[in-house]
Chain A
Amino acid sequence: MEVFKIAVKIFASADDFPPDQFVPIFHHWIQNQSVEGHQLIDVADYGHVASGPGTVLVSSEANFYTDRAEQRLGLLYSRKLPLPGSFQDRLRAVVREALKAAAKLESEPLLNGKLKFKTDELLVRLNDRLLAPPNEQTVSAAIEDVRMVAESLYGKTVQIESRCTPLTLVEFRVRSTQNPPLAMLLAR
């Protein structure tokens, strides 16, 4: 699979976090250019939109969303620029960037440790209808790579559900009985 526009969402432990908390944090990240490998550019705040993308940190390589789709808060890392390697390599890299961003947000001093992420569920989305058209062939082509990456994080305890409708992007929901800290997943 050639798709590189891959998005991964790490869900927050609680969804009632005030939406205006993230704007100063993301601006601070831009001022310090503190996300390695990303040219951070701008912040867009969509806190006024119901179940929307929340606050968006825009970089040239990816967008970082405090996404509230399905009324569930999470850090959504959405890759925009190509990555090297196979689809599995690219997926692994995107998952890693998402985990790193979530960990960075979790440890953000301005949040005083109030924001926590859980890791027993990951959402993987193939954000490109041209290279990953929403059909069963795409699901079949991607699912084993999704499983391999998930098992490298959680072992054999994962369950993977796919969603594929004509109107929505291909999605995989990875669920695990484990809920390890972000740092532990990043070390794997």
Chain B
Amino acid sequence: MGSDTTTGSITTQKIPYGPLTKGPDTFWEAPGMERIKIPYGGMNPQQMIVLAELAEEYSDAICHITTRQDIQLHFINIDDTPDMFRRLAAVGITTREACGNSVRNITACPLAGVCNTEAFDVTPYAKALTFYLLGHRDIQDFGRKFKIAFSGCEDEACALVSMHDLGGYAVTKVVDGKTIRGFRIYVGGGLGAVPYQAKMLDEFVPEEELLPLSRAIGRVFARLGEKKNRNRARLKFLVQKLGIDEFRRLVQEERRTMPDDPAWREHFDRIPRFEEKPGLKAVQLNGARRPDGYDQWAGTNLYQQRQAGYYVATVTCPLGDVTSDQMRALADISSRYAGGNARTTVEQNIVLRWIPHDKTIDLYKELVAIGLGDAGAGTITDVVACPGTDTCKLGIASSRGLAGELRQRLATKNATLDRAIRGLRIKVSGCFNSCGQHHVADIGFYGNSRNINGYTVPHFQVMLGGQWSKNGGSYALAMGSVPSRRIPDLVDRLTSRYVAERTGEESFQSFCQRIGKQALKNIVNEFTAVPLHKDDPSFYSDWGDPREFTIGDLGVGECAGEIVSLAQFGFTQAESEAFEAQLLLDAGQFRQADEKAYDAMITSARTLVQLEWLDVPNDPAVIVEEFRKRFVEPKLFWDTYHHGQFANYLLLRHEGADSRFTKDTAHKLVEEANLFIDAAHKCHAKIQARSVSVVQVPAPQ
């Protein structure tokens, strides 16, 4: 959108005080996204109906379920938002603090209360904490967002506690013969550009201490968290900087100084009254005739509750999208079958709880009738994707386009897929920020791009071996970038290899560990080649978006030819070094991994410097200084939204390594090296575009 305010088009409407913006470079009139908080994913039928209505009247008739159990509406006119807020408030929904530097939607296991492995139902605690912290004065001064999740157990995936700023597992213990409830509290987890596993803050926090302790953590974060540099402002960086022991000490000290707050008891007193009731009496199926497709659907989409005779039905929502008509129908179905108990999930689906077994057949028929009867929930066909380039300004490649393509291809052969493959999870993000949660997928991807012979070619970084279970227990590692067009073939190859070489019931994660990263890298390398544009132009456009995003139509200056190949050579070497760093990390050689990751960044920086000074000495001090002078200070190595974040990865490491050389510090630097290389590619493309433009534009007479 342009910034001219004089010509009267939509980009140029007169507004009272100059070009008002509602975010970085986003003009007032530009359509926006409305994120709607759905605490623990819980929706009653009336709320579902209003969400459907708002999508229909103000958006594009689609309710999009996010990976944090929110609902998002896209292409919203800002002038419509007051009406939307009022209508949401009328059914008890707020959008307050759904975005920004605040406590985001508090998520919880969608099976909470009906789960077979939970210690107790975390729902009322998630609800209490949501409304206790909402608008609380102590959490208004964060430097960055703060995400909280609750899970009823540690072993399943449902709430992904390990990747949250603050997470709690339900635990019980017996004291003086009495079972008391509490939470095992973790802090400082997060995905994003550099993922961190949360660290345990407290083995057992009694339930009545949950609200005060959460507030104390918020106060420490507000006081000591980074404020100026957004890229280092999440709690994970503070915990990393202080160390978990010092952070724990500060939180405990803060807790002791906090005056008593009656609100703790007010919220806590409501918890025992929380009760979710079924709408129908449980009756077993008892041999009723099953329609075609039911058994397959039941195999993947039904979960037997711990309450006898009741089931949870997962409604598979393709790419997290539900139409207004479907949402209305689901509200009706939820009322009639589920006692009005529906929840969104972090896998972008909706679960209907408390379905009597004998009603699952009718339910299935009704879901089929509204186009939501697909089987495969939580399987390889149920691909998760963030909005990516479709609507997100940070998106680099089309995560939804790729996810849609994979989903379609896998669904057509789902029946013939090996059982081991069907159980895998694929997650796609449009960029490294990991909204698609690619780090905790068996097979994950995030969007980037590569400049090849003057064309920008959409790519995805391949992430393998993440752990979905144990609440996102360990993260995948990058295996290299593959052109977007080759990703479906790569998935076929990886899964075929897994089936062929799997031993017993070996998980994909164990398989990846057993065959080793070099073997995996070799598979990935088979798919990295990009044909010339004239031979296959499809490589130069993204899935779901046929436009060719390229600077090639400006022409490639002959003078660039030599430099391009030299640069590509340098970047290839850097990528190879980054991969070696991953292997060292995997082997537990953390100091060496750190050093190799640093080497990879130096090689990338040197490659860029060589564009202007071919014979730059291979001396890190000179390279870093020249890189700073030629690329960082003129803001060439610069991202519109992340500013100098990627350059800082090298500059900070060059000042000195983190002398602890732990797995975490090494992992962080390896991730940073990969991002630095991506940024170097982008910088190179920018420089090349500029030089091509210079060739094309005649000098003034």
Contacts and interface: CB of A to CB of B under 8 A. Distances in A.
Do A and B make up one complex?
yes
Interface of A: 5, 23-24, 27, 31, 39, 41-53, 56, 58, 60-61, 63, 65, 69, 80-81, 127-130, 167-169
Contacts of B408: 48
A5 B54 CA distance: 13
A49 B546 contact: no
Contacts of B318: 48-49
17 contacts: A27-B545, A39-B9, A41-B30, A42-B75, A45-B404, A48-B319, A48-B321, A49-B318, A51-B323, A51-B371, A52-B321, A53-B62, A60-B29, A65-B61, A80-B77, A128-B57, A130-B83
A129 B60 CA distance: 16
Given A27-B545, A56-B75, A60-B77, 6 more contacts: A41-B31, A44-B75, A44-B390, A45-B404, A80-B77, A130-B83
B371 A49 contact: yes
Interface in B399-419: 400-401, 404, 407-408
Contacts of B407: 48
Contacts of A49: 62, 318, 321-323, 326, 371
B564 interface: no
Contacts of A23: 544-546
Interface of B: 9-11, 29-31, 49, 53, 56-57, 60-62, 74-75, 77, 83, 318-319, 321-323, 325-326, 328, 370-372, 390-391, 400-401, 404, 407-408, 544-547
A50 B372 contact: yes
Contacts of A46: 60, 62, 321, 323
Given A49-B318, A130-B83, A58 B75 contact: yes
A58 B400 CA distance: 17
B83 A27 contact: no
Contact of A167 (B9, B319, B328, B545): B328
A24 B546 contact: yes
A46 B324 CA distance: 13
A173 to B, nearest CB: 16
Given A24-B546, A42-B75, A61-B10, A53 B60 contact: yes
Contact of B371 (A24, A27, A50, A127): A50
A5 to B, nearest CB: 7
Contacts of B57: 5, 127-129, 169
A45 B62 contact: no
Given A48-B319, A49-B318, A169 B56 contact: yes
A53 B408 CA distance: 18
A47 B29 CA distance: 27
Contacts of A53: 60-62, 323
Contacts of B390: 42, 44-45
Given A23-B544, A44-B391, A129 B53 contact: yes
Contacts of A63: 60, 75
Contacts of B75: 41-42, 44, 56, 58, 63
A28 to B, nearest CB: 9
